[in-house]
Chains A and B, each alone.
Chain A
Amino acid sequence: MNLRWATFAVAFLFLAFLLMFEILPGILLVVSAFTNKFGFSFEHIQEATKPLFLKALVNSVNLSFFTALEGAALGTLTAGAIWSSKNVKVKRFTTAISGVAANFAGVPLAFAFVVILGSSGIVNLLLERVGIEPIDVYRRQNLHWVYLYFQWPLMTVLMLPAFNAIQREWLEAARGLGSSSLGFWFKVGIPVLLPTLLGSMILLFANSFGAYATVYALSQGSINLLPTQIGFQVSGQVGYDPGAAAALSVMMAVTLLLSLALYRFSRRWAAQLEGAK
């Protein structure tokens, strides 16, 4: 057997598979967003900019930006705490559970939040008891509490390697040279972390922007976001308009593509810092 040709044969099979189930559907999506029965047209794009859909886009951007910010702040602090902790067991456990929770989205997560923040949710009962207004998990404004469940640990695991690149001896050396802890973080720590921090925030934004399962399971789509609108337009429960679905999908893909480009830029920046070290 010639290994070179055998492995290349599989690689070509892979390419055929990708063409069929990934590349062609992607191309067709873009084509159908920009055509109607008669040929090239902006008809669907125009439809996709009607107020309901624009609102969905704005809502999605808002939610994703806000949860990215929230997750980034909490996750960076948590990663720093894990980095400086000397308790190996706590470190291991926190890292492990963060890795699991970062990927724990969808139907099971949605229902766990119904249990605590639903109309008779246990945390809500508690809040009512102490006189705080309960958090209605079915409202868009409160969705960020659910998304934080995966955004916070995701940021934590994304930031850990960057923190680990900071040698504890640097901090000690800086202190020995008379710098304060705060001074160290401003002059050395934050510049080293910054590219990873921004890059990870972009990943968090994208992670929330494309998320469909959690919000759909929670509200059957009554929360107006870009992914839920796309789901509606293809599955036909409320409206059925595959053309609009394609146009909205292109809107989403372009946003994600931009995020990916920014992310790559931030990685290159981080690599440059790494080289300068």
Chain B
Amino acid sequence: MTFLRRGIIGLLLAYLLLPILMTLVYSLSSSWTELVPKAFSLEAWSHLFGDPKFWADGGRSLILAFSAVALSIFFLVPTLFAITLYAPKLSSALEFFSLWPFVFPGVIMAVGLIKIFSTPPLAISGTPWLLIPAVTVVVMPYAYRAVANAFESADVRQLAEAARSLGASDLQILAWVIFPTVLPGVLSGGVLALSAAFGEFSLAQLLVGSSWETLPYYQYLTNSQDGHKSAAISVLAFAIAWGLGSFALGLRSSDNLKDAVTLA
């Protein structure tokens, strides 16, 4: 049993890590046509980091990702607050609309969005003004899950009532009781949504393409031109996803904060 157990875990780790490791080696090799690379060089990486377009596109990806996350948190936190405290019956409606991209994923969202936003008076197709809201909708499930879980497990209703009975004002309740309690959940959801928005390709390609180029689109164009450079981007993307993912996971394990709060 131990052997089988180690075997399957090892197999998964190999399947997940080997493609990335080999891609890393490929990005560091100048030619790799035999089993072992002939020569190594940092050329691909220096080309990548020396390309002003890489920085411009990366900057746009950052703008896109942070705007999408900021928007979803700005909408979700007060809405969840209002629904939990004053209108619990609406919570299933909120869940339905937050998980909508499950039924309407990026590709088909694009079909509907192009129809509405490519003719005046709303001709914003091809601009970030359409891409940002569209990506916000597509990454909403990531943010929603984490934020809603935080509200649920913190028992926000009870916390608010307790604070109110002690004479706290509404604003004090929000700022000093609710906000710190749900913060880890909000952050972890935000980070997961950030990671998803940063790598979003379907909408970027179908809605804006090269007129507002982001990093995944940059890599897509690089694929056919310079394989070693594209390999470097793959490795970079994995490193970013790994960094953000571990950060979110770290936040989730601080969920035991809520026990401290309910005890106090």
| Contact across chains for A74 and B12 when beta carbons are under 8 A apart | yes
| Contact across chains for B113 and A25 when beta carbons are under 8 A apart | yes
Chain A residues in 8 Å Cβ range of B110: 231, 234
| Contact across chains for B115 and A212 when beta carbons are under 8 A apart | no
Q: Known A21-B136, A90-B9; judge A108-B15 contact (CB<8 A).
A: no
Q: Judge whether A173 is part of the interface by a CB distance below 8 angstroms.
A: no
Chain A residues in 8 Å Cβ range of B70: none
* 23 A-B interface contacts by CB (under 8 A): A3-B170, A4-B86, A8-B86, A11-B83, A18-B97, A21-B136, A22-B100, A22-B109, A74-B12, A81-B5, A81-B9, A95-B249, A101-B16, A112-B20, A114-B227, A115-B231, A115-B234, A116-B18, A126-B35, A210-B108, A216-B201, A253-B104, A260-B102
Of A108, A153, A231, A235, most B-chain CB atoms within 10 Å: A108
Q: Judge whether A227 is part of the interface by a CB distance below 8 angstroms.
A: yes
Chain A, Cβ-Cβ closest to B18: A116
| Contact across chains for B82 and A32 when beta carbons are under 8 A apart | no
Interface band, chain A: 35 or more
5 closest Cβ pairs, A-B complex: A25-B112, A3-B170, A210-B105, A249-B108, A108-B237
| Contact across chains for B23 and A78 when beta carbons are under 8 A apart | no
Shortest C-beta distance, A14 to chain B (Å), equals: 4
Q: Judge whether A24 is part of the interface by a CB distance below 8 angstroms.
A: yes
The binding surface of chain A is classed by DSSP as helix
Q: Judge whether B190 is part of the interface by a CB distance below 8 angstroms.
A: no
Q: Judge whether B111 is part of the interface by a CB distance below 8 angstroms.
A: yes
Q: Known A10-B75, A115-B19; judge A99-B107 contact (CB<8 A).
A: no
| Contact across chains for A212 and B82 when beta carbons are under 8 A apart | no
| Contact across chains for A103 and B195 when beta carbons are under 8 A apart | yes
| Contact across chains for A108 and B103 when beta carbons are under 8 A apart | no
Chain B, Cβ-Cβ closest to A90: B9
The binding surface of chain B is classed by DSSP as helix
Chain A residues in 8 Å Cβ range of B22: 112, 115-116, 122-123
Task: Report how many residues on chain B are interfacial, defined by Cβ distance under 8 Å.
Answer: 84
| Contact across chains for B79 and A7 when beta carbons are under 8 A apart | yes
Q: Known A7-B78, A234-B114, A242-B114; judge A26-B104 contact (CB<8 A).
A: yes
| Contact across chains for B233 and A108 when beta carbons are under 8 A apart | yes
Please report the C-alpha to C-alpha distance between residue A110 and residue B216 in the assembled complex, in whole angstroms.
11
| Contact across chains for B81 and A7 when beta carbons are under 8 A apart | yes
Chain B residues in 8 Å Cβ range of A112: 19-20, 22-23, 231, 234, 238
Q: Known A94-B13, A111-B234, A206-B102; judge A120-B5 contact (CB<8 A).
A: no
Q: Judge whether B259 is part of the interface by a CB distance below 8 angstroms.
A: no
Please report the C-alpha to C-alpha distance between residue A130 and residue B16 in the assembled complex, in whole angstroms.
23
Of A14, A113, A152, A156, most B-chain CB atoms within 10 Å: A14
The stretch of B52-60, B146-154, B239-247 that contacts the partner chain: B239-247
Q: Judge whether A265 is part of the interface by a CB distance below 8 angstroms.
A: no
Q: Judge whether B183 is part of the interface by a CB distance below 8 angstroms.
A: no
Chain B residues in 8 Å Cβ range of A242: 111, 114-115
Chain A, Cβ-Cβ closest to B7: A81
Q: Judge whether B205 is part of the interface by a CB distance below 8 angstroms.
A: yes
Mask: chain B, 220-238; 1 = CB below 8 Å from A; 0 = not: 1001000100110110011
Choice from B26, B75, B201 contacting A217 with Cβ under 8 Å: B201
Q: Judge whether B137 is part of the interface by a CB distance below 8 angstroms.
A: yes
Choice from B137, B201, B231 contacting A21 with Cβ under 8 Å: B137
Please report the C-alpha to C-alpha distance between residue A109 and residue B216 in the assembled complex, in whole angstroms.
11
Q: Judge whether B48 is part of the interface by a CB distance below 8 angstroms.
A: no
B137-189 residues with Cβ-Cβ distance < 8 A to A are 137, 170-171, 173-174
Mask: chain B, 186-220; 1 = CB below 8 Å from A; 0 = not: 00000010011001111001100100000010011
Shortest C-beta distance, A45 to chain B (Å), equals: 15
| Contact across chains for B106 and A97 when beta carbons are under 8 A apart | no
